[in-house]
Amino acid sequence: MPNERMNEALVRAKLRASGYYDDSETTVEEQISDIAAVKTLLRNASKGMKGGRGAPEFIISTRAANDVLIIIECKARLQDHESTNRNQPIRYAVDGALHYARVLSRDFTVIALATSGRTAAELRTSSFIWPRGDVGCKVLTTQAGQPVDAILPITDYVDLVLFDPEVREQRHRDLLAFSRELHDFMRDHAKLTESEKPLLVGGTLIALRDPAFRASYDKYTANDLQRQWLDVIQVEIDKADIPNSKRVNMAQPYSSIAVHPELGKPTPAFPRGVLYELIHRLATKVWPYVSIDHGFDVIGSFYGEFLKYTGGDKKALGIVLTPRHVTELFAMLANLQVDSRVLDTCCGTGGFLISSMSDMIGKASTKEQRAAIRSHGLVGVEQQPNMYALAASNMILRGDGKANLYQGSCFDDAIMRGVSSHKCNVGMINPPYSQRDAESRELVFVRYLLDSLTPGGTGIAIVPMSCAIGNSVEKATLLKAHTLEAVMSMPTDLFYPVGVVTCIMVLTAHAPHAASKRKTWFGYWKDDGFIKTKQNGRVDVDKRWAEIRDRWVSAFRNREVHAGESVMRAVTADDEWCAEAYMETNYSRLTRGDFEKVVRDYALFSLLGVQGSLSESETTGDD
């Protein structure tokens, strides 16, 4: 045992050298923890067969990511570092670290370190990550894919957790589950309209950017808190290096909420007031994620969840928010570079801009490049005042003090002159979807986007399939100035529960289609791996999306042609722009089950007038 203390001393020295003991956000505990959840989990975590309390040598937590724990298990002898099957936790360092990681992963994402050796020269370190709620661990690697074999600064571990796809997906699920709870809370106690709910969330997250407000919001009375909430939002907006007129537009929608009578009223259930309760919930459940994950459109996710409970916005305004995995797909299809400038002329809450920023910052190698991306690389236009405020809030939350956002119509000449001055070379858009009296109006939005890009720029749009298969003046007008590079047919229920079938169009700006004399690539992208679920909508249950996405992007970039998946065809405005019209059927993939499903669906439709299989109804709970 004295030898084991030698290894602990080495680890302690490494932690001290890496700044763990000097960081006010970080707490290093040894063999016992004051964190209630940790104490509960370790109560029966003994490495022996008889149960009882157990604990690793070091337990490290940080307020920068309160859902993450770092644990370290120490052994003196190098031969006690790891067993063959990792199933002897009493003797071996790796086995013991993973034993505790499994226990603690019920409530935390765990970075498990195993160390052995009695001198600095022979010190050996193995690192693993066990995502919260997962069934197993994996070796912790750098972003370059190399195993981590040393004790890193706490900020490096937070970054590695941030980029882990399983952890990010788990956090996303947590936030969506919390958004449903928050919706019910605001409906029952705050008496807010559907358009005010996301504003209250966005404004509160902006206020929480202020460290003084985060530390003192529980010191105010209910009435004073309401005034202070708006004051802090105004201060945070004023910090943004943007014209005063834009600041006014950003702040105005929050003013009406700041005087809402229900928010500042103490109640028996909430003696500090409803606003305090909401701030506290967001501060503990959402802010820790937002403060470290700048690539996640949290406000857009909340807004999308709130839309599910009302038909108003999405039916009256044609608002169909783009799923997060599609905004990330757009960034990959555009093949963004660190010096790309991205434009979205119907930016909504800013989902495309946020995914683009995350993609470009991931490729940046210097602070100057990252600063340039935030300051100059993202341009957006949004007409709806409340939506504009949400988009601006989203950008401020990511440290973007110079968000180039314009409030107004993308058809306004003055706004488009301002937009064109940014010389954007990439455009992304999910335009408002037309009502019955506006056939193919979505392509008008696409055309204005392309007109605003530099010559040779890439425009990517997701629009209803009706825009691609119908004959319209807009298709012809679009091709007179721009080249249709590719069209991809997307999953039928991509926007579930909104019933719209879509496709993605990729075009080259300011290159007339006829003059380019290029064939168009058509992809049949109907299966993205997501499955409809009753409670959570479409979910990548089997974790197929990453592989499917990479295959799609590779096929698109290389213009690969595969039977049943893609085809190249020269088209004009009079042709159908979809893979289904030209693609050869790959009959080798058809199974007896496919045949039976079609027959069953047809029988149901003929008998009951109902489309869709029994299995779909049972899965989604639809009547």
For 95, phi then psi, to 5°, come to -60, -40
Using DSSP, state whether 285 is helix, strand or coil: helix
The top-scoring range by mean pLDDT among 298-302, 350-354, 419-423, 532-536 is 419-423
Cβ neighbours of 85 (radius 10 Å):
8
Report the Cα 137 to chain-centroid distance in Å.
Answer: 23
How many angstroms separate the CA atoms of 80 and 4, rounded? 11
What mean pLDDT, rounded, does the chain reach?
Answer: 85
**Residue 348 confidence (pLDDT) above 90:** no
Q: What is the DSSP code (8-state) at residue 147?
A: B
Cis peptide before 198 (omega within 30 of 0): no
Residue 292 near residue 219, CB atoms below 8 Å = no
Task: Tell the burial category of 184 from Cβ atoms under 10 Å away from its Cβ (0-12, 13-18, 19+).
Answer: exposed
| Strand ranges of the sheet holding 566-569, from the earlier edge strand across to the other edge | 404-407, 378-382, 342-344, 426-429, 458-464, 502-508, 483-489, 520-524, 566-569
What pLDDT was estimated at residue 164? 77
Q: From start to end of 76-123, where are the E strands?
A: 109-116
Burial class (CB in 10 A: 0-12, 13-18, 19+), 460: buried
Contacts 24+ apart (CB under 8 A), 356-363: 356/330, 356/331, 356/426, 356/428, 357/294, 357/295, 357/398, 357/400, 358/294, 358/295, 358/328, 358/331, 359/328, 359/331, 359/332, 360/336, 361/294, 361/295, 362/295, 363/336, 363/337, 363/338
523 in Cβ contact with 555 (< 8 Å): yes
Summarize pLDDT for 379-435 with one digit per residue, the tens. 999 988 888 888 888 777 776 645 588 888 999 999 989 999 999 999 999 998 875
Q: Which two tokens stand for residue 531?
A: 């499955």
d(CA 302, CA 283): 15
Alpha helices by DSSP H, 379-511: 385-397, 413-420, 442-451, 466-469, 473-481
List, in sequence order, every beta strand (DSSP E) within 257-391. 342-344, 378-382
Per-residue pLDDT band at 565 (split at 50, 70, 90):
very high
- Residue 623: predicted pLDDT: 31
* Residue 165 or 343, more confident: 343
Q: How far apart are CA 247 and CA 237, in angstroms?
A: 6
Q: What are phi and psi for residue 345, nearest 5 degrees? A: -90, 0
**Whether pLDDT at 273 is above 90:** no
For tokens 């169909």, name the residue: 320
- Give the model's confidence band at 317: pLDDT under 50 very low, under 70 low, under 90 confident, else very high: very low
pLDDT at residue 320 in the model: 61
Look at 601 and 319; give whichever has higher pLDDT: 601
Q: Is the pLDDT of residue 614 over 50?
A: no
What pLDDT does residue 401 have? 47
pLDDT at 587: 63
Query: What does the DSSP 8-state code read for residue 150?
Result: S
> Quick one: residue 440, left, alpha or beta (phi over 0 = left, psi -120 to 50 = alpha)?
left
Using N-to-C axis directions, what is the helix angle for 154-162 and 165-185, rounded to 10°?
Answer: 80
pTM for the model: 0.74
What span, in angstroms and rounded, lies between the C-alpha atoms of 623 and 620? 9
Structure tokens at 41: 């989990």
Distance, in Å, from the CA atom of 223 to the CA atom of 526, rounded to the nearest integer, reads 52
Instruction: Please state, as a whole number, how many other Cβ atoms lie within 10 Å of the Cβ of residue 447.
Output: 19
- Are the CB atoms for 115 and 72 separated by under 8 Å? yes
Q: What was the pLDDT predicted at 29?
A: 96
Say what the alpha-carbon torsion angle 9, 11, 17, 19 is, to the nearest 10 degrees.
Answer: -120
Rounded to the nearest angstrom, the gap between the alpha carbon of residue 307 and the centroid of all alpha carbons in its chain is: 17
Share of the chain above pLDDT 90, in %: 48
Instruction: Say how far apart CA 114 and CA 131 lie, in whole Å.
Output: 17
Q: Say how many Å lie between the first and final Cα of the chain, rounded.
A: 66
Nearest alpha-carbon partner for 356 in 407, 303, 394: 394
Residue 438 predicted with pLDDT over 80: no
The average pLDDT across 174-181 equals 80
The percentage of residues in the chain with a pLDDT greater than 70, rounded to a whole number, is: 87
Please state whether beta strands 342-344 and 426-429 pair in parallel, antiparallel, or not at all (unpaired).
parallel
Cβ neighbours around 365 below 10 Å, total: 8
pLDDT of residue 105: 93
Q: 507 pLDDT exceeds 90?
A: yes
Identity of residue 127: S
pLDDT of residue 78: 95
pLDDT surpasses 50 at 313: no
- Integer-rounded Cα radius of gyration of the chain: 27
Cβ pair 90, 97 in contact under 8 A: no
Element (H, E) at 61: strand 58-62
Query: Is the predicted pLDDT of residue 311 greater than 50, yes or no?
Result: no
Highest mean pLDDT among 20-29, 304-313, 585-594: 20-29
Tell me how far the alpha carbon of residue 238 is from its chain's centroid: 27
With residue 11 as reference, give the H or E element that holds it. helix 2-17
3-class SS shares of the chain: helix, strand, coil, % to 5:
45, 15, 40
Q: What is the pLDDT of residue 619?
A: 28
Q: Give the C-alpha distances (Å, rounded to integers) separating 554 from 151, 325, 332, 504, 559.
A: 37, 16, 10, 16, 8
Using CA atoms, how far apart are residues 94 and 499, in angstroms rounded to an integer?
A: 50
Say what the pLDDT of residue 2 is: 55
pLDDT at res. 294: 55
**Mean pLDDT across 462-479:** 91
Least confident of 51-65, 93-107, 146-160, 170-184: 170-184
Tens digit of each residue's pLDDT (9 = 90 or more) over 118-166: 999 999 999 999 988 888 899 999 877 899 999 999 989 988 887 777 7
Pairing of strands 378-382, 531-533: unpaired
The Cα–Cα gap between 88 and 90 comes to 6
